[in-house]
Structure 1
Amino acid sequence: MAIKEDLLIDFGAESILLSESEFLFQEDIPPIYYYQITKGKIKLSNHKPGDGEFIHSIHEEGESVGEVFLFCKHHRYPVNALAMEDCTVLRLERPRLLQLLESDFSIQMKFLKNCAEHAYYNYVFLNSLTLQDATHQLLTVLDRLKETEDGEDQYSYKVPFTRKELSSLTGLRIETVIRILKKLQTEKVVKIIKGRVYY
């Protein structure tokens, strides 16, 4: 759920620009701001030397980034937020966000509902990681992505991520992702057209 841009600006939000591959915030930095994307795409991830990257989530225009961490007062960010392309982001200081939420109960409830949905899908995904079935892990991610687009029809969702990004989202090897997608295509679960996956 996006908070209306005009409302954020009324409470003092400023617009900042990020170049592709620039950090919005990094691990071990204390959360200070509420961030909402007005243009572009940002991923939350961890990068460990030798282990590659694990992407926790990808956020697009109209979505907030890392808002739940603002309410963990004594904790620092456990993830990095990195621009996947050139981005424009509205930034509002934490005390001003709290004032905004206190000003309108309906906005506060929508904000809480958004946080709850993020937590729900994180648990669903973490549960899939405990399974040995790599196909189920990939399908869990595809289901989550498709739900955010409100798509129900078969092949209606064009997956906007590369095989490498799907690998990082699932924690699977890229070769495993490629093999599973080929298998799912044979089973008519996905379609692959000109290299793009439709689910």
Structure 2
Amino acid sequence: MIDYSLLNQCPVFRGISEDETRNLLGQIHYQVRKFQKDEVVVFAGDTVQDLLIVMAGSVRGEMIDYSGKTVKIEDIEAPKPLAAAFLFGKENRYPVTVTANKKASVLAIPVPEFLKILQLNTLLLRNYLNSISSRAQFLSQKLNFLSFKTIREKVAHFLLQQVGDRYHSFELKNTQQQLADLFGVTRPSLARVLGGMQAEGFIKIEKKTVTLLDKNALNELLRNG
């Protein structure tokens, strides 16, 4: 059985009524796959043949680095899709190995079947395109941050990017944990850098409002990096 109210919280199905979602899935073939704790859902390098959506439990994406060490990339909770941006294209293979953190249930819609319902519902198509575009933008930001050596440089770049040339303050929409994940650092490390920048008079943070008190100093951080 599919929990349609939960499925409609998935970015791909968001905004579509439960009745319409039920109607769409009623016109295609799909599977609900069950996994035990630490069971592999997909292996890195496997061809992506289905749109996979976590419907219960959670899974983790992991990579093996050059030393042979397993590195966790992220946890994916229900009702998030897995590798939605890799359904199409020449190299449509899973970039990471996905393993169940605990008992998990995954909805699997074969790519040809997913194409059918994309053509049947324009909101579903728009949601899917928005989902993969947002992911591409997130990865683009990650690549940007990789070019900076220190956390201070990454934070300075992010802050200057948020305000642009005309403004000095902005409303922070991310939590500290989300920012830490974006920068690829721990939350305590990020908190120390933000605290240091406030102590030095570079920025001021009041609740969710961040004000850049010395944009020149932040730009100098990037120039001297």
TM beyond 0.5: yes
Q: In 2, are the aligned partners of 1:36 and 1:64 still within 8 Å (CA)? A: yes
Q: In 2, Cα distance between the equivalents of 1:18 and 1:133?
A: 40
Task: Quote the offset at 1:51 in angstroms.
Answer: 5.0
Query: Structure 2 vs 1, CA of residues 13 and 48 (structure 1 numbering), >3 Å: closer, same or farther?
Result: same
Q: In 2, Cα distance between the equivalents of 1:100 and 1:64?
A: 16
Q: Does 1:121 align with 2:138?
A: yes
Query: Structure 2 vs 1, CA of residues 50 and 133 (structure 1 numbering), >3 Å: closer, same or farther?
Result: same
Q: In 1, Cα distance between the equivalents of 2:40 and 2:89?
A: 21
| Counterpart in the other structure of 1:6 | 22
Q: Does 1:183 align with 2:206?
A: no
| Percent identity between the two aligned chains | 15
Q: In 2, are the aligned partners of 1:17 and 1:89 still within 8 Å (CA)? A: yes
Task: Quote the offset at 1:138 in angstroms.
Answer: 8.5
Q: Which amino acid aligns with 2:86?
A: F
Q: In 1, Cα distance between the equivalents of 2:103 and 2:135?
A: 24
Q: Which amino acid aligns with 2:189?
A: I
| Counterpart in the other structure of 1:98 | 115
Question: Which residues of 2 match residues 40-51 of structure 1 at below 5 A?
Answer: 40-48=57-65, 50=67
Q: In 1, Cα distance between the equivalents of 2:66 and 2:145?
A: 25
Which stretch has the larger CA shift, 86-95 or 48-57? Answer: 48-57
CA distances 1:157-192 after superposition (whole Å, capped 9, x unpaired) = 5859xx9xx6xx92x6xxxx4862572585599xxx
| Counterpart in the other structure of 2:126 | 109
Q: In 2, are the aligned partners of 1:18 and 1:87 still within 8 Å (CA)? A: yes
Greater C-alpha Rg: 2
Q: In 2, are the aligned partners of 1:13 and 1:91 still within 8 Å (CA)? A: yes
Query: What SS does the corresponding residue of 1:131 show, helix, strand or coil?
Result: coil
Q: In 1, are the aligned partners of 2:35 and 2:105 still within 8 Å (CA)? A: yes
Query: Structure 2 vs 1, CA of residues 104 and 124 (structure 1 numbering), >3 Å: closer, same or farther?
Result: same
Query: Structure 2 vs 1, CA of residues 130 and 83 (structure 1 numbering), >3 Å: closer, same or farther?
Result: farther
Q: In 1, Cα distance between the equivalents of 2:152 and 2:42?
A: 32
| Counterpart in the other structure of 1:79 | 96
Q: Which amino acid aligns with 2:43?
A: Q
Q: In 1, Cα distance between the equivalents of 2:24 and 2:73?
A: 26
Q: In the alignment, which of 29, 32, 35 is matched to residue 18 of structure 1?
A: 35
Q: In 2, Cα distance between the equivalents of 1:46 and 1:91?
A: 22
Task: Quote the offset at 1:137 in angstroms.
Answer: 5.5
Q: Which amino acid aligns with 1:44?
A: G
Give unmatched runs, 5+ long, in structure 2: 1-10, 158-170, 199-207, 209-225
Query: Structure 2 vs 1, CA of residues 133 and 69 (structure 1 numbering), >3 Å: closer, same or farther?
Result: same
Q: Which amino acid aligns with 1:6?
A: R
Q: In 2, Cα distance between the equivalents of 1:25 and 1:49?
A: 20
Q: Which amino acid aligns with 1:46?
A: M
Q: In 1, Cα distance between the equivalents of 2:45 and 2:25?
A: 28
Q: In 1, are the aligned partners of 2:31 and 2:107 still within 8 Å (CA)? A: yes
Q: In 2, Cα distance between the equivalents of 1:41 and 1:136?
A: 33
- Equivalent pairs counted in the alignment come to 168
Q: Which has the higher contact order (CA 8 A, sep 6+)?
A: 1
| Counterpart in the other structure of 1:149 | none
Which stretch has the larger CA shift, 53-62 or 22-31? Answer: 53-62
